Structure 1
Amino acid sequence: MPISMHREWMKPSSRLFAATLVAVTTPVLPTTALADDWSGLEDVHLDVISRTAEERERVSAVTSMPQDFSEPWAFEENSAGAQTVRLRQTADAFSQPAANLSFEQELDFRVGNGMFKRIWVSAPASTLASDGLGPLFNARSCQRCHLKDGRGHPPEGPEDTAVSTFLRISVRAPDMAEVERYIAGTHPTAPDPVYGTQLQDFSLPGHTPEYRLQVQYEEIEVPLSGGEVARLRQPLYSATELGYGPLHAEAMLSPRVAPQMIGMGLLEAVPTQDILEWADPEDANGDGISGRAQVVWSEVHDRPVLGRFGHKAGNPSILEQTASAFAGDIGISNPIHRAGSGECTDAQTDCAAALHGGDPEQDGLEIDQAGLDLVTFYSRTLGVPARRDVDDPQVLRGREVFFDTGCASCHRPNYVTHRLDGENPASFQLIWPYTDMLLHDMGSGLADHRPEGRADGREWRTAPLWGIGLTETVSGHTQFLHDGRARSLLEAVLWHGGEAETAKAKVVAMHPDDRKALIRFLESL
């Protein structure tokens, strides 16, 4: 098996690392802009204990390129290391606390789960701890989008709501010199002056929702080897029934389906250096894969850090991802996003002037730091179910096809997380998430033509694959990709283009039995 197909497995190049840090794809800005000073990319959100030389050798050995595909690999069934939980063949498969939590941590998990499920109501209300919803919102709780901590789906037909799907919106920044906290390589954008950064399709009484999401599909046939034919859905999204006038003339829209929640704390604990060393923005090794790092501004640490979470890796940490979801999705003020009116803009005067649920005992906020931390802890410590059928011959063959085809070039199988101070359950775990957490050009078929940070309109973060075979069990459907267009894992593979075009072509041309084995392997994750 050519080593080039596996990104020169765990053989970092300091030259590639340097190229990642200085890549600039936008015009030169004033000296106040952050240019190529990436000193903030250390893991400032974690209490890290530096690895010893002996530990570095152990990590290199355990994550080295596998040679034998005839049997399961050591610890492969434990996708999340010591956080792996026993498989449940029920809708609760993604809702278990990580297996290595202490008794006290499990109590925090349970309280955080309660807040994750909390139904928020409008202010003023007798339930002071739960008021402050909206006035504009996409859902009334975290659970409404991430039902059973699983994957959302686009609306199916006119009677289905888009509660787990919404449209991001932005416009090109009118003057790049005025963009605050500019990061080199970023595509400067700004919120829509009326509709903000995302469109909300629900509102409190007396307020008008921003829009209604409509999706239409055109079916595309894809001939496969062996006389098989796949049928893909090409979606067309539209924002109808606009409540506050037309969108900006240059508005850029992009659909987002709520992703599954498992294993996030482990992804947060992967060393930044390990992710950056996998990047190859100039494709120096000639394998056709050019993973690039997303770099975003951390509101908490007031510096640029590596982006890890979201479909385009637009958030640096689970805390900041959680805070932005509270503000944008539910309209709940918090220590990072303090506006009581949530995502309302200055142009939406009635919305901005509405009563909010700020509580003096919570620093005038609708959820305070303690509450935000509990929901963050819950999101950080959801366990990953154990792998299934790791010794099944068809699964083993599918795993080999996965590597031979080049899928592992972006869906990097494993890492060892940081050794962390304190009682962090993510500390020093061998994990198998199957993602490099980098940005990749996925081709015109998946392009949303909307940049986000350093990601352009064709780039997406490699999605983790752990747990993907349990989607139907947990979420009741098999709809994948950032907008749920794919109705099966095979359809999701066939939508891959750009850097993944060669791998996709191999899947189209391979023997049908190998294609079935590949899907069987993915279903075992």
Structure 2
Amino acid sequence: MIIGIIVSVYACVEPDALQDSDYSEWLSGGSQTVFDNGVGAFSTAFPNLTSAREHVHGIGDGAFGQTFVTAPAPINPGLGPIFNNVSCTSCHVNDGRGKPPGAGEQLSSLLIRISIPGTDAHGGPNPVPGFGGQLQQRGIFGVAPEALVKIEYTEKQYTFADGEAYSLRFPTYSLQNPYTALPAGVMISPRIAPPVFGLGLLEAIDEADILANADVEDMNDDGISGKPNYAWNVVEGKMTLGKFGWKAANPSVLQQSAGAYNEDMGITNFIFPHETAMGQSQYDGRDDEYEVSDSLLHSVAFYIRTLGVPARRSADDAVVLQGKKLFVEGKCAQCHVPRFRTKTDVAFPEISNQVIFPYTDVLVHDMGEDLADNRPDFDANGREWRTAPLWGIGLTRIVNGHQNFLHDGRARTLLEAIMWHGGEAEQSKDFVSNLSKTDRDKLVKFLESL
């Protein structure tokens, strides 16, 4: 009840009239915080959209769930001819986090980016001849998939300083039964489907505020040297700051959405007008018209931009507050930056000038050899990953039915995810390793409150 009062008060007061200390971390998404702790926690629209914007959000919501089929068809034609999945929600279940396949399962919400040494014309990953930049492990009837993917795990045992044992599973990825021979030197990068809520607010963070946290040369000598990743912006025709994807290699929600349609489902659009199989033996020649309209693509991007962020739970709990203190002491907050204020946007007032708590710096960091995919992506090298936002992470089990984390879902708990950290986060991992079990539990409880 108290939280509802806070929201209604904030909705009526101009943001600049409030001091920073007036904002509560209960409201992770500012005035676009939603109060749903159930399965729909990641799927709720901004609470204060106009009726017209609600209508567009609803159109995008419907399109996000639509299943594409092989052309010709009266509804949603154009799937493939090679693809990873048949709809947006097939990967982003309940707008949340994907997971790696279980034993005997094929990939569903995990995909494989591929490239060979060198760069493309815009400094991005160099596509694999005959395969492109992303592996499609499925094909429509009569069409061979590019290859199948096999994942094998090796368990390694470790011990915390207090003697408690834990294990980490190390994945090995191999491409099997390719439709044609793969060239030498193919680099593989597995990517799990990330949650899609709150992206409009992340997009609204001013570039200057992100760059203010960058320290590429580690001038302050703290061992942390986050850097921005600049990627090719197809719409603007130039390099712009990347904010989205596991290596921050996508500059906008629109381009991320268009790329997913094209690469994941083989659906052409005005940003990516060519089939991913173009130039391959699987190519079906269906490049005559876009398979998703401009308006529908914009509606899907708007839907994603206007998904609210779930409110914190138990933010004032004594144990949670102690865990938060440990989070700061362990230097976790130096990369997982708690707070930003979005820029002013008169054309999109719902995301304008909001104090949000995403727990990311939107920069890429060296995460060590164990997490390295050894595949560069624009300015991000093979050891670097974008700091993943932590808001909503404590609801993963409820929304998605699992607790698989990191870029390929190898971590099976939040504590495992922490213990995978290396490189710039080695000090933080060591800090956690040396905590007592009681304090480790406090830290996890804090993360579960986000």
In 1: Cα distance, 2:376 partner to 2:325 partner: 35
Equivalent residue, structure 1, for 2:8: none
Equivalent residue, structure 1, for 2:27: 78
Contact 2:229 2:242 survives alignment (8 Å):
yes
Equivalent residue, structure 2, for 1:216: 152
Equivalent residue, structure 1, for 2:398: 473
Q: Percent identity?
A: 45
Equivalent residue, structure 2, for 1:44: none
TM-superposition CA deviations, 1:314-372 (whole Å, max 9, x none): 10000000001000000001010111xx21141x13x223446x5xxxxx211121011
Equivalent residue, structure 2, for 1:202: 138
Equivalent residue, structure 2, for 1:462: 387
RMSD: 1.6
Matched, 1:291 2:223: no
Name the amino acid aligned to 1:445. D
- Point out the more displaced range, 190-199 or 73-82: 73-82
Name the amino acid aligned to 1:324. G
TM-superposition CA deviations, 1:196-242 (whole Å, max 9, x none): 11111111111001111111111111201332111111111111121
Select which of 104, 111, 122 maps to 2:70: 122
Matched, 1:510 2:441: no
In 1: Cα distance, 2:373 partner to 2:142 partner: 33
- Unmatched 5+ stretches in structure 2: 1-14
Contact 1:108 1:374 survives alignment (8 Å):
yes
Name the amino acid aligned to 1:367. V
Select which of 331, 337, 340 maps to 1:406: 331
TM-superposition CA deviations, 1:26-53 (whole Å, max 9, x none): xxxxxxxxxxxxxxxxxxxxxxxxxxxx
Contact 1:225 1:512 survives alignment (8 Å):
no
TM-superposition CA deviations, 1:138-162 (whole Å, max 9, x none): 011001000110100111101x221
TM-superposition CA deviations, 1:440-496 (whole Å, max 9, x none): 000001000111000111000000000000001111100000000000000000000
Matched, 1:352 2:301: no
Please list, as runs of the form range in 1=range in 2, the aligned pairs for 1:50-61 lying within 5 A after superposition: none
Q: Tell me the CA shift for residue 510 of structure 1.
A: 1.1
| Secondary structure class of the residue paired with 1:352 | coil
Equivalent residue, structure 1, for 2:187: 252
| Secondary structure class of the residue paired with 1:254 | strand
Please list, as runs of the form range in 1=range in 2, the aligned pairs for 1:31-42 lying within 5 A after superposition: none
Equivalent residue, structure 2, for 1:486: 411
Please list, as runs of the form range in 1=range in 2, the aligned pairs for 1:25-424 lying within 5 A after superposition: 62=20, 74-89=23-38, 91-127=39-75, 130-158=76-104, 160-173=105-118, 179-182=120-123, 189-243=125-179, 245-339=180-274, 342-346=275-279, 348-349=280-281, 351-355=282-286, 364-424=289-349
Contact 1:414 1:430 survives alignment (8 Å):
yes
Q: Normalising by structure 1, what TM-score? A: 0.81
In 1: Cα distance, 2:63 partner to 2:284 partner: 27
| Secondary structure class of the residue paired with 1:344 | coil
In 2: Cα distance, 1:304 partner to 1:198 partner: 21
- Unmatched 5+ stretches in structure 1: 1-53, 64-72, 183-187, 359-363
Q: Tell me the CA shift for residue 74 of structure 1.
A: 3.9
In 2: Cα distance, 1:180 partner to 1:214 partner: 31
Change (3 A) 1:514 1:74: farther
| Secondary structure class of the residue paired with 1:208 | coil
Q: Normalising by structure 2, what TM-score? A: 0.94
In 1: Cα distance, 2:136 partner to 2:241 partner: 28
Name the amino acid aligned to 2:46. A
Q: Tell me the CA shift for residue 513 of structure 1.
A: 1.1
- Point out the more displaced range, 503-512 or 486-495: 503-512
Q: Tell me the CA shift for residue 249 of structure 1.
A: 0.2
Q: Tell me the CA shift for residue 375 of structure 1.
A: 0.3
In 2: Cα distance, 1:415 partner to 1:355 partner: 44
Contact 2:125 2:133 survives alignment (8 Å):
no
| Secondary structure class of the residue paired with 1:226 | coil
Q: Give aligned pairs, total.
A: 436
- Point out the more displaced range, 96-105 or 319-328: 96-105
| Secondary structure class of the residue paired with 2:327 | helix
Q: Tell me the CA shift for residue 88 of structure 1.
A: 2.9
| Secondary structure class of the residue paired with 2:162 | helix
Name the amino acid aligned to 1:171. I
Name the amino acid aligned to 1:180. A
Name the amino acid aligned to 1:353. D
| Secondary structure class of the residue paired with 1:225 | coil
TM-superposition CA deviations, 1:6-37 (whole Å, max 9, x none): xxxxxxxxxxxxxxxxxxxxxxxxxxxxxxxx
In 1: Cα distance, 2:407 partner to 2:323 partner: 24
Please list, as runs of the form range in 1=range in 2, the aligned pairs for 1:428-467 lying within 5 A after superposition: 428-467=353-392
In 1: Cα distance, 2:300 partner to 2:232 partner: 22
| Secondary structure class of the residue paired with 1:374 | helix
In 2: Cα distance, 1:355 partner to 1:316 partner: 28
Contact 1:448 1:457 survives alignment (8 Å):
yes
